[in-house]
Amino acid sequence: MDFALTDEQRMFQKMFADFAEKEVKPIGEHTDHEEEPPLEVLQKAAMQGFMGALFPEECSGACLDFVSYVMLLEELAKADITTAMTISVHNGLAGKTILDFGSAEQREKYLEPMAFGEMIGAFALTEPAAGSDAAALESTALRDGGDYVLNGNKIWVSNGGIAGLFVVFAKTDPGAGARGISAFIVERDTPGFKVGRREKTLGLRGLTVTPLYMADCRVPAANLLGEEGKGFKIALQALDVARLSLSAIALGACQRALDEGVAFSIEHIQFGGPIALKQAIQNFVADSAAEIEGLRWLVYHTAWLAAQGEPFSHEAAIAKLLASEAAYRIANRMVQVHGGYGYMKEYAIERIYRDVRALPIIEGANEVLRFVIARDLYDQVGLKIRP
């Protein structure tokens, strides 16, 4: 098995790292402190092709393979997790879903503006009573002539505050459970569609997370994404990509946290020398480095499966589970390395620690992912389990 990156992938990796270091890293503190989405950086990312990273050339996309894409998210997350999350939702959840399930007309209409950063994408699945149990959503989309009329509420919509396009899930057959869910492309200025006030969050403070309200929101039937009743399948496939993406973001966060801890341990003097000379600090660093190295190959292998067109749902669940928990664990260690300074906003590790706390919750809570992983294993021996 060849684990080597191609020359093209190595070139991309350097380009991603240079962009993240020069353009993204300097705005991380400002984005967090002011709670502002990194709009200027998003436009620069669009100029580099990153806003259409997964889109084909005919849609003005960069046509990156999945391994290159996870390297992009990894490098962005090293610089600023919020920026990486914003681009991930836009690309992997909104754009890739339209690419995979949209009609030729939908792809032509929406993907090029998304690639140019003229229209940011968001993904609206979660509801107050339908989080981990996505099939329980209550929003409806009932056919009325040439339109669907949408009613219901969504919560925790990432990119909601800046998005011009939303992939929205609602029930076209309310009595059919998961089989009654359909997906729609809804533009922000559609009458009856309202973006609510931005939520105040512990971390990821530059990521605009909002509720959505739909009251007799008329969406043209041409905006149905895929087939009626296939929305749950569409959502699950999108979440596979989202979990792979999140594992790459967590990997980048792990590496940035370790880098901050190593740098501080060299600079900070106690008992007549740098604390890097203390075995306790060395153990924190060594344990973190070992976890990161193993995690990197898991994430890249999962991306390789996706690039080959192989099933990767099981691997993506494992990667997201392990990566998100490693990010929180390693950030916690590096706060401890910083001591009291790690609790101060002047140090980047404080922001990283807050940001990574969201990762075990989003794109499938880790408790649910443990069920998904166990279910896959029991399915192989013919035993059906329930959450």
Q: Where are the domains of the chain?
A: 7-119, 122-229, 233-379
Is the overall model pTM greater than 0.85, yes or no?
yes
pLDDT tops 90 at residue 96: yes
pLDDT digits (tens, 9 = 90+) for 151-165: 999 999 999 999 999
Q: What is the mean pLDDT of residues 297-322?
A: 97
| CA–centroid distance for 19 within its chain | 19
What is residue 163's predicted lDDT score, i.e. its pLDDT?
98
To the nearest 10°, report the CA torsion of 363, 364, 370, 372.
-100
CA 177, CA 182: separation in Å to the nearest integer? 11
CA 145, CA 151: separation in Å to the nearest integer? 16
pLDDT band at 309 (very low <50, low <70, confident <90, very high): very high
Multiple choice CATH, 233-379, 2.40.160.40, 3.10.180.10, 1.20.140.10, 3.40.50.720:
1.20.140.10
- Of the candidates 127, 315, 350, 363, the residue annotated as catalytic is 363
Which fold is adopted by the domain 122-229?
A: Butyryl-CoA Dehydrogenase, subunit A; domain 2 (2.40.110)
What is residue 1's predicted lDDT score, i.e. its pLDDT?
67
- Assigned token pair, 124: 């609206």
How many CA within 13 A on the CB side of residue 358?
21
What percent of the chain clears pLDDT 70, i.e. is strictly above it? Answer: 100
- Assigned token pair, 147: 């339109």
Buried b (16+ CB within 10 A) or exposed e, 265-275: beeeeeeeeeb
Alpha-helical (H) ranges within 60-217 are 66-79, 81-88, 96-101, 104-115
First to last CA, the chain: 36
Q: What is the domain class of 7-119 according to CATH?
A: mainly alpha
pLDDT tops 80 at residue 2: no
pLDDT digits (tens, 9 = 90+) for 203-245: 999 999 999 999 999 999 999 999 999 999 999 999 999 999 9
Instruction: Please give the radius of gyration of the chain, using alpha carbons only, rounded to the nearest integer.
Output: 21
The H or E element containing residue 123 is strand 121-124
pLDDT tops 80 at residue 382: yes
* Catalytic annotation present for 112: no
What is residue 162's predicted lDDT score, i.e. its pLDDT?
98
pLDDT band at 3 (very low <50, low <70, confident <90, very high): confident
What percent of the chain clears pLDDT 90, i.e. is strictly above it? Answer: 98
- The burial of 96, by beta-carbon neighbours within 10 Å (0-12 exposed, 13-18 middle, 19 or more buried), is given as buried
- Assigned token pair, 362: 């989003």
pLDDT digits (tens, 9 = 90+) for 359-369: 999 999 999 99
What is residue 69's predicted lDDT score, i.e. its pLDDT?
98
Q: What is the mean pLDDT of residues 162-179?
A: 97
